Every structure is written in C-alpha cells, then in structure tokens.
Amino acid sequence: MIEIRWHGRGGQGAKTAALLLADVAFSTGMYVQGFPEYGPERMGAPITAYNRLDDKPIRVHSNIYFPDIVVLVDESLAESVDVTAGLKSNGSVIVNTTQRPEKVREMFADCESAVYAIDARDISLRCIGRNLPNTPLLAVVVRTAGIMEEKAFLDNMEESFAHKFSAKPEVVAGNMNAIREAWRGAILL
Amino acid sequence: MSKRDRLSGNEAVAAAIRQINPDVVAAFPITPSTEIPQYISSFKADGLIDTEFITVESEHSAMSACIGASAAGVRAMTATSSAGMALMYELLYVAASDRLPIVMAAVNRALSGPININADHSDSMGARDSGWIQIYSENAQEAYDNMLMAHRIAEHPDVMLPVMICQDGFITSHAVQNIVTEDDAFAKAFIGEYRPEKYLLNPQESLGVGPYSVSVYYMEIKRQQFEAMNSARRVIADVSAEFTARTGRAYAMFESYRMEGAELAVLLMSSSAGTGKVAVDALRERGVKAGLVKLRVFRPFPAAELAGAFPGVKALGIMDKSDGFSGCGGPLGAEVRAALYGKADGIRTIDYIYGLGGRDVRVEDFYEIFDELARMAGGAEAPDCRYHGVRE
C-alpha cells in the first residue's frame, strides 16, 4: 500500500489534488482512498488530505501517520506544521517551492527521506496562466509513487482534461504542457 | 451489469437514491449530509429523476413533509445529520407510530456541545427508541447496498416502519473509495413498485392518519409497533439474503469476522470496523486469538443471535461511538450485555467510549484494546467502562 499525505492551506486545492490522484490510480485498476481531514474551514488555514493506494481492497479508515510520500502544496507550512512527522525513511517529500535547491535542502536538513523540489507555481503560471499548483504536483506524485508510466499518464490526463474542459478545449494544451514539464521538472535534492 | 466505480459515501447514497427515484424528497442542508440533497436537486434539474423535491425551512418541516407524503401513499425520503436529526426527533416518533415507510439517509455526526461537525453516533443513538429501523454501514459500498435494500424492508406489509441508513460523517461520507454499483434495471427490479395497502389519497377507502388516541387504544398501537419491529428481523434477513444471492455481497444482522476460535473480541459499528479488521488480521498473524463482530442492524436489536456469537470468547470489548451518560457506558454496551446476560455468562466485558466528535481511530487503538482484553482474559482487574483515545 502507498500512503500519501498532502499539506496545504484552505483554498489551495489539496483536497482536490487528493481526489484527482485517487481518480488517476483508480483508472489503473487500483483500490483507492482519497479524503480530507476537516478542521475549521477557513481560507488559508492549514489543511491535510490523504490518499491510500493499493492493489487489494483498503479497509482501514484512519488518518495517515506513517506516509510513504508527503506533498507540501505550500512550503510556508513547514514553519508551523511538522509536515514530515512519521514519514518513512525510504519515503519522499515533494515540495512546491520557489526557493533555491540548497535552501530547500536546508529546510529538510533532518529529513532522511528523498526531497523533491518543484516550482509548480511557475509552471502553472507559464503553462496555464494561473497559479494552479495541483496539476503539476499531481504529475510529480504519480511519477514518484510509480503509479503510471509517463505515456500512460499523459494519455490518461489528456482524456480527463478533454472531458473536464469540454466547454473550453483551448485550455487542454496548457494543462498538458504543465504536467509534461512537471513530470521531468522535479529536482531530487 | 454491475460497474466498478469510485465514489464518496454521499455520492454512493445519492447514486442509490437516483435509482430509487423516490416520489418525494424533503430535506434541509446540514453538514456532512448536505451533498445528498444537492445531488438529488441536480438529478432533478437534469431530468434523471421525477421526484418532487421540497426545500423546507427546517428538519422538523422536512420530516413533517415526508410524513404527509408517505401518508398520502408515495415513497418519501430525506437526509440529515446531528442537530438536524435532533430537530426531527418529535416527528421520528410520529413517522414510526403512523407506520410510514419513510427512508432516511443518515450521515452520523456528533451533537453539540461543543459544536463539532465530525462523526460519532450520538445523533442516531438519540433516536434509538423512536421506532425506526437502524442499519449502519462500514463504507460507501455498504451505504449504497443498504440504501437499495431499505425500501424493501420498510414497505413490507408485515413491517411498515421507517428506516434510517447510517454512515459515518466525513470518514465515509467524504472519502472517495472503490465501489461496485448495480445497473438501473437491476436496482429498479430489486426495489420494486410501492403499492401501499392503505393510503390517505385513496378515494375508495377513507382513512385517518395520526389522530389522537385515548388510553383505551394507545397501548394497542404500541403493541402493533412492537410486532412490526419483530417482523422486521425476518424481513431484513430475507431481503439481505436475496441481495447477497444476486450481488455476491454478504449482508446479515451482523458480521462475524475471524471469530472462529476467537478468545478476545470487539463489537462495534460502521467505519471503525474496517480499521478493526486490519488489526485483527495483524494480531492473528502474531498468534493472538482475536476476532470482531460488526453490528449492522441496531434496530431491531439482534439480541438472541448475539448471545450465540461469542462461543469461546473470554473477554469482549464493546465499542460505543456515543456516550449515553448513564455513568456506566454507552447504549451498545448496555444492550449487548443485556443480550449476553443469562445466555452467555462468563464472558468478561468492557465498554469503550471511543471516536467521539471525529477523534481518529487508528489500527494502534485496537492493539491497545486487545492488549487490555488479553489482560482481562488472564484475570486482571478492569473497569466496566472507560473512555479510549482520550487525553487525561
């Protein structure tokens, strides 16, 4: 089983990202869970969302305390939340960051796990025209978790975007460029 | 043809309601069940159902509208949670005593105070004496399946009682998970048409619903409710067996999980049963004779069957996701102990109050509970009841 914990702020779409990832994994035939942890619902407040992905039915219904992957949608959370709590030593942290690589490595100096940095904000601004970090982050998570090969993932996403944006097909290309760039763009620190 | 899908608990229940296509839905929004009437409203706008969807100004009115519709002779449904259900309490008794087969999608949430939007069973446990049949679901699949079975149970001529299908708020209602849905033709054929024997809008036979009852009649009405609830045992068993035969998904009054040779066991309802099964599997690997009973039907209460469900068990943990504030445990604890008394004496029991207000229930919680049960089986002292997973 792969367990993933998303840390974001209310309004940034960490929950949506977890649901999107569940969809992608589901389409490969996996058993999935995607769920948010609801606290006080305020824009900007720290929120957590979770994924479990497995090749057999998933029966556990608790939050995730020992994740394989932690995704930091908002790097400023690292100052106030122990985002790597319980992270497996052979696990990975994926950080959406605008900082230089050595600065990010410093933030996770005590972390034994692999740390990946990606500027999802920059990618989404350039490719989509808005700050929608979920789409690029999804590509990095799918690759890091080994859920799908690149081509299968791109084909899957193209179909999903075509369906989702059937009323405005012109945005499909930008979204596809964002995930293509993100797939190859994460830096292992 | 069944279909592999991924849905949240609320989406799953809404999918079942679309297939049921009830005549009337009356609902008022309350977290975490709000999405259910939202989906119903969309289905209606999209022409997928021809339900009369009544947006009311309170849950008291929602249940009142359901009572009126059901008495008139049609299928009526609602969805609610927590304080919304509490505002219905008066009408829940009216629905049951008028023998109206209303079906409710209940999404369990804590009651105030302190105000809290997360799961526990305080809301439906407050309605446990209202005369409604109560069926609890472990996950989205069970919430969907139980909803497809609800009308067959409620509308059976020997039952004619309202049914609530319960699932845990957020833990189930807002978690996307794998599910198998049945096709519309199967669902519609299984549910069938509703043809009430007696109904208010029948011009051939006049009928009074809900009149004042003087003392010389009141008790006879209650005696008939008692009889109907007892008949529901057989009807639930029959409908569940038919559903199981047609879908391959097993349903009964309760599920015994790895109870063969079990010496330590827990009994609980809804989502945490899944987490408990993971713990039981791990404990069995280590040679601990652990087992689990998941109660599906709380009303009617399967006392006689439960008395025989724990052969060889030395210590049993009964897990209550609500506190009845009796000062000696929650409602499940009291009823399970009453069921065992004189029939399965010699089993040491402890009642755990757990998971209140969405307090997370982990696999490790079950390890701690089974450790305590093992000590009890070995003769150690233990309280009759304690809170588990609380900071103190």
| Chain B residues with a Cβ under 8 Å from any Cβ in chain A | 6, 117-118, 139, 168, 170-172, 174-178, 271-272, 274-275, 277-278, 358, 360-363
Q: What are the structural domain ranges in chain B?
A: 3-247, 254-387
How do residues B16-62 score in pLDDT, each as one tens digit? 999 999 999 999 999 999 999 999 999 999 999 999 999 999 999 99
Q: Are the Cβ atoms of A61 and B170 closer than 8 angstroms?
A: no
Compute the distance between CA of residue B232 and CA of residue B156 in angstroms, rounded to an integer.
8
CATH code, domain carrying A144: 3.40.920.10
Confidence of residue A40 (pLDDT cuts 50, 70, 90): low
Q: Are residues B289 and B325 in contact, defined by beta-carbon separation less than 8 angstroms?
A: no
The reported pLDDT for the residue numbered B1 is 82
The CATH superfamily label for domain B3-247 reads Thiamin diphosphate (ThDP)-binding fold, Pyr/PP domains (3.40.50.970)
What mean pLDDT comes out for the span B341-361?
A: 97
| Number of Cβ pairs < 8 A linking chain A and chain B | 61
Instruction: Please tell me the least confidently modeled range out of A56-70, A155-169, B171-185, B365-379.
Output: A155-169
**Burial classification of residue B171, based on how many CB atoms lie within 10 Å of its CB (0-12 exposed, 13-18 middle, 19 or more buried):** buried
CA distance A43 to A9: 7
pLDDT at A41: 66
Residue B251 has pLDDT above 70, yes or no: yes
The per-residue pLDDT for A118 is 96
Same fold, B3-247 and B254-387: yes
* Average confidence score pLDDT of chain B: 97
Query: Looking at CA atoms only, how far is residue B173 from chain A in angstroms?
Result: 9
- Please report which confidence band the pLDDT of residue A11 belongs to, taking 50, 70 and 90 as the band edges: confident
Chain A stretch 60-99, residues whose beta carbon is closer than 8 A to a beta carbon of chain B: 60-63, 65
User: CB–CB of A35 and B362 under 8 A?
Assistant: no
Question: If DSSP codes are grouped into helix, strand and coil, which group holds residue B171?
Answer: coil
DSSP for A146-172, written as a single string? T-S-HHHHHHHHHHHHHHHTTT-GGGH
CA distance A25 to A1: 12
Average pLDDT over residues A74-86: 92
Within 8 A of B177 by CB-CB distance, chain A residues are: 31-34, 58
pLDDT at A163 (0 to 100): 82
What tens digit of pLDDT does each residue of B288-341 get? 999 999 999 999 999 999 999 999 999 999 999 999 999 999 999 999 999 999
With a CB cutoff of 8 Å and minimum separation 6, the contacts of B227 are none
Q: What is the per-residue pLDDT for A169? A: 86
Could you tell me the residue range of the domain that residue A7 belongs to? 2-188
- Residues in B closer than 8 angstroms to A26, CB to CB, are 6, 178
Mean pLDDT (whole number) for A88-109: 93
In this structure, of A35-49, B40-54, B94-108, B115-129, the range with the lowest mean pLDDT score is A35-49
**Do residues A69 and A92 make contact, with C-beta atoms less than 8 angstroms apart?**
yes
Read off the pLDDT band of A127 (50, 70, 90).
Answer: very high
Give start and end residues of each alpha helix (H) in chain B. Answer: 9-20, 35-45, 59-72, 82-97, 122-125, 140-154, 184-191, 215-247, 272-285, 303-307, 331-340, 363-377
User: What confidence score (pLDDT) does residue B57 get?
Assistant: 97
Distance CA A104, CA A83 (A): 14
- Please check whether residue A22 touches B, CB under 8 A: yes
Q: Give the range among A36-45, B22-31, B356-365, B381-390 with minimum mean pLDDT.
A: A36-45
Min Cα distance B344 → chain A (Å) is 30
**CA–CA distance, A63 with B95 (Å, rounded to integer):** 38
Checking DSSP bridges between strand B348-353 and strand B315-320, what pairing results, if any? Answer: parallel
Average pLDDT, integer, range A124-143: 93
Helix, strand, coil percentages for chain B (3-state, nearest 5): 40, 20, 40
Count of domains for chain A: 1
Q: Which CATH number is B254-387 given?
A: 3.40.50.920
The rounded percent of chain B whose pLDDT value lies above 70 is: 100
A52 → chain B, closest CA residue: B177
Is residue B212 over pLDDT 80? yes
Band of the pLDDT at A167, cuts 50, 70, 90? Answer: confident
Residue A59 to residue B360, Cβ atoms within 8 A: no
Q: Do A26 and B6 touch (CB under 8 A)?
A: yes
Share of chain B above pLDDT 90, in %: 99
> Mean pLDDT across chain A, nearest whole number?
92
Distances in Å between the alpha carbon of B211 and those of B130, B197, B221, B229? 18, 19, 12, 22
pLDDT at A162 over 90: no
Looking at per-residue confidence, does B326 or A159 come out higher? B326
Which H or E element spans position B26? strand B24-27
Mean local confidence (pLDDT), B138-157: 98
- Cβ distance A61 to B361 less than 8 Å, yes or no, reads yes
Contacts of A35 in chain B (CB under 8 A): 170-171, 174-176
